[in-house]
Each structure stands twice: as structure tokens, then as C-alpha cells.
Amino acid sequence: MVLPAVPGAAIRRAGAHPLSFAAPVTSKGEATRAAIFQAALDLFKAQGYEATTMRAIADRAGVSLGSSYHYFPSKEHLILELYRRLHALHREACAPLLARERGFAARLRGVLRAIVMTWEPYHEVAGSLFSTVADPRSPLNPFGAESVALREEVIALYAELLRGSDAKLPADVAAELPRLLWLYQMGVLYFWIMDRSPGRLKTLDLIDETADLLVQLVSLAHLPLLRSSRRRALALVRAIAGDAPDN
């Protein structure tokens, strides 16, 4: 399956980071870049990320190795391009739901279901990346410094989800919840990578059950009895975030 093209502005919204690069803007350049990107996806799916070389990608795309490095200086750049494109498509898929629905639980379920469906054509590619992504030294690790711009984009999406919802939250909870929802999303995606059920139904069931449970737990944040525990939990979240590689 060919990944739909995403406007350059949408892809670049994630901002600059150490693996950013200037993409060619000519029609011929865009066609070459698209061919290299698609060749990489095909090879990642067929033989795995680690076993795929930049030379093999160049050969499949019908370009020179030097040309492939001109457009994508490393395999990591190719995967970050995939991340950015899928994030742009995910936002696009979520837009109608977020425009019409105010229920916190429904918005959360919809956004999580949308990311699973957006990623579904690349399930095998995601599986081949798992060991690399899990490596804390990898630039593809979602918790690393190289991923900070895109990570903040995803956290901003969850902030938007909360702002437009009917959730009534204490200010301290509202400030930290988008980051916690991003962590929740990461857990769902890791489960999805391992899910071999038909249509990934186990992942969809997990989303439905845990989203409702999470919303119920958040609704308890106003209880005076839990105020002290809430403050301790949020302080722990802030401390962990402050120790992250990008801080």
C-alpha cells in the first residue's frame, strides 16, 4: 500500500530536530523522494528494518546510493518521515470527531481508534521496528530528544481533545493529563504491535474498555479525599517529565 501524500507544511509542523533535513522542492525531486520512501516501506515490510540497507533501498527505487542519501541521510530519516506523515493523517482523521463530539470518553475512544486505523497498513513495519524503537539510545525512541517535536505535537492533540470536551477537571490535572494520555496512547500502540487477532479486535476492545475506565478515574479527581494523592501523583509525573532526555 502506498502512503498518501501529505502536504509539506503538514509534515513539517513537527518542527526541527537533529534528524531534520531540507527536502527537494522540484517535481522531479519529489517524485524521486517518493520512490525512495516507498521502496523503503516495501523493504521494511518484507525483510525488516534492521536487515534493510540504504543500498537495497536505492536499488529498489532505481536511484544511486548517493541520491538516496541526498533525500534521506539515514534509515532513521525514513522512519521519522513515516511518523510525521502518519501523525498528519491521524490529525486529519480525528478532525470530524473532535468538531462534532463533546463527550470526553467518546473523543478519547475516537482518537485512539483513529490512530490504530491510521497505522494498520503498516503493522508489519511497526513490528520490525519494535526492538529499535525500544532501545533508549535509538533516535527513533519516542521518549528521546530526537522525537521531542513530534511528541509535543501528539501531546497538543490530546490537549485539544480535552479543551473541547465536557470534562470538568481541576487545573493541575488538566495541565498534566495530555502528557499522560500520550503515554496511554503509547501503551495502546505497543499492545497493537503484538496483537495478532483478526482485524486487531483485541486492541479495539482494549481501547473501549480502558478509555471508559480512565475517564471514570479522572472524574474522581475532584474528590477532596483524593486531593493529597492527586497532588503527589502529579508531582511524580512532573518529576519524571523533568528527567526526560529533552529537558
For residues 241 and 247, give the distance between their C-alpha atoms in angstroms, rounded to a whole number: 8
Q: How far is CA 171 from the centre of its chain?
A: 26
The two counts, helices (H) then strands (E), for the chain are 11, 0
The residue written with cell numbers 490504530 in the block is 116
pLDDT of residue 19: 40
For residues 102 and 242, give the distance between their C-alpha atoms in angstroms, rounded to a whole number: 32
The full DSSP string for 4-46 is PP--HHHHHTT---TT--PPP-SHHHHHHHHHHHHHHHHHHHH
Task: List CB contacts of 5: < 8 A, sequence separation 6 or more.
Answer: 34
Condensed to tens digits (0 to 9), the pLDDT of residues 149-162 reads: 999 999 999 999 99
pLDDT of residue 238: 73
pLDDT of residue 26: 62
The amino acid at residue 88 is: A
Domain ranges of the chain: 22-72, 82-242
- Provide the CATH topology of domain 82-242: Tetracycline Repressor; domain 2 (1.10.357)
For residues 190 and 126, give the distance between their C-alpha atoms in angstroms, rounded to a whole number: 9
pLDDT of residue 12: 39
pLDDT of residue 229: 78
- Provide the CATH topology of domain 22-72: Arc Repressor Mutant, subunit A (1.10.10)
Condensed to tens digits (0 to 9), the pLDDT of residues 50-101 reads: 999 999 999 999 999 999 999 999 999 999 999 999 999 999 999 999 999 9
Q: What is the mean pLDDT of each run of 10 residues along the chain (247 residues)?
A: 45 39 63 94 92 96 95 93 94 96 96 96 91 89 88 96 93 90 94 95 96 90 74 76 54
